[in-house]
Amino acid sequence: MLSERLRNLSIIDSLLWLLRAGIIVLVLWGSFAGLTQGKHSDESWGQFYNRCTTQTDVGTVECMGKYSTETWRDFAIFGLAQGGIYALIALGYTLVYGVLFMINFAHGEVFMSGAYTAFFVANAFAQNGFLDSNPIVALSIVMLVSMVTSTVVAVLLERIAYRPLRRAPRLVPLITAIGASYFLQYTFRGLYGSGKKVYPDVSILTGKWVIAGIPILKTQVVVFVAAVILMLILYWFVQKTKVGKAMRAVAEDKDVALLMGIDVDRIIVITFATGAAMAGAAGVLYGLLFKQVDFIMGFVPGIKAFTAAVLGGIGNIPGAMVGGLFLGIFESVGPSLFLEGLGIPAAYQLKDVIAFTMLVLVLIFRPSGIMGEALSEKKA
């Protein structure tokens, strides 16, 4: 059976398998080299471990190459918080694709619109002291403003730009989405200016919490927990509510759903609004984690969230969640793990390259994603 499959391999398939093997070898080789940097050739593994193990005030810190285990842990924790933001944005891509089979490349700007608008509310609260005196209420209002702004922008985008093109060839709404992306970027540049805005610090979120003996920045804990809660709420909404069932019916077959009495246009608007609300919430979490916002802030996170959606399986909600978390961790740990091990200078500057390379590889080797099903001809 195996020999028959090998005989049936084309030259292209053989080259792709060689490419896969080469990538795996490079990653493993770089990781091994990165984790053993500093080990002398005449030194045993036991000697290397003993020399690199030091005692600190918080206990034993083990040396794992250039970085300690504590540093690797910090990389992973930051990656989880970052991945939660990617996952929330990715849900908008996967919801719209699941219903309309189109990629809304303006979704990154929907994310930007909420975060950028909410900055002014957060800044006003900080200046009058309300942010520090009532942080939970203030942050709730800031997040609500961000979610409402993103929702309004997404609904207008669907009504004005996408609905008239619903029966057009698939390339037409794709080009329209790219144009809408630039339109929104420069509209908000004109409204809010081109300079970067810095989210104010929240006194209640400064410092660290010690969880299971591990000190973690409070902002990272809040961002990750909030992202997980929002993702679970969305999953419950899609799976358990009547509107969610209608969304799944429209995703399966719009014409049959229409015959069953479902208002397809209304469900599509709700789909855009739901994905946009998640992106708006992600915008505030992004502001808390990275602090700076500007009119082009949505482009790179938007493309990375699209990568996460494709990685998990475009159109698959749990896949988008898993893909976002995986991409966040991989992007945070990868440069220091295997790129530095390969001797690449300024490896962390290539973290964006890792995300986009992963997108290309997923599209080549498994376009249905980690948790996606094989694409049908209708969706492909």
Residue 371, pLDDT score: 72
Residue 378, pLDDT score: 44
What is the pLDDT averaged over residues 103-119?
93
What is the pLDDT averaged over residues 107-119?
94
Count CB-CB contacts under 10 A for residue 307.
Answer: 26
Q: Whole-angstrom Cα distance, residue 351 to residue 134? A: 37
Question: Which phi and psi (to 5°) does residue 39 adopt?
Answer: -85, 125
pLDDT range class, residue 22, cuts 50, 70, 90: confident
What is the pLDDT averaged over residues 36-44?
55
Q: Which of 105, 155, 107 lies closest to 266, judged by CA?
A: 155
**CA count, 13 A, side-chain hemisphere, 114:** 33
Residue type, 35: L
Cα-to-chain-centroid distance, residue 372: 17
Residue 377, pLDDT score: 41
Contact indicator for 109, 330 with CB cutoff of 8 Å: no
Residue 6, pLDDT score: 55
**Alpha carbon separation from 250 to 50, 93, 253, 379 (Å, rounded):** 61, 16, 5, 14
List the chain domain ranges: 79-328
Q: Which of 323, 315, 373, 376 lies closest to 101, judged by CA?
A: 315
Q: Whole-angstrom Cα distance, residue 51 to residue 22? A: 34
Mean pLDDT of the residues in the chain: 82
Report whether pLDDT(57) > 50.
no
What is the pLDDT averaged over residues 94-100?
88
Q: Which of 194, 92, 224, 222 lies closest to 147, judged by CA?
A: 92
Contact indicator for 55, 77 with CB cutoff of 8 Å: no
Q: Which of 379, 330, 378 lies closest to 356, judged by CA?
A: 330
Report whether pLDDT(347) > 70.
no
Report whether pLDDT(214) > 70.
yes
Q: What percent of the chain has pLDDT over 70?
A: 81
- The strand pairing partners of 61, in sequence order, are 54
Residue 318, pLDDT score: 87
Residue 58, pLDDT score: 43
DSSP state of 63: E
Burial of 299 (0-12, 13-18, 19+ CB in 10 A): middle
Report whether pLDDT(5) > 70.
no
What would the CATH number be for the domain defined by 79-328?
1.10.3470
Cα-to-chain-centroid distance, residue 182: 21
pLDDT range class, residue 372, cuts 50, 70, 90: low
pLDDT per position as a tens digit, 290-314: 989 999 999 989 988 988 888 888 8
Residue 152, pLDDT score: 96
Token code pair at residue 5:
């499959």
User: 3-state DSSP helix/strand/coil percent for the chain, to nearest 5?
Assistant: 70, 5, 20
Which residues are CB-neighbours of 165 under 8 A, at least 6 positions away? 172, 173, 176
Report whether pLDDT(17) > 90.
no
Token code pair at residue 115:
């975060």
pLDDT per position as a tens digit, 234-265: 999 998 999 999 998 988 888 888 888 889 89
Element (H, E) at 198: strand 197-198
pLDDT top residue among 119 and 14:
119
Cα-to-chain-centroid distance, residue 225: 15
Report whether pLDDT(348) > 80.
no
Q: Whole-angstrom Cα distance, residue 228 to residue 42? A: 48
Q: Which of 134, 140, 142 lies closest to 203, judged by CA?
A: 134
SS3 214: strand
Report whether pLDDT(342) > 50.
yes
pLDDT range class, residue 373, cuts 50, 70, 90: low
Report whether pLDDT(59) > 50.
no
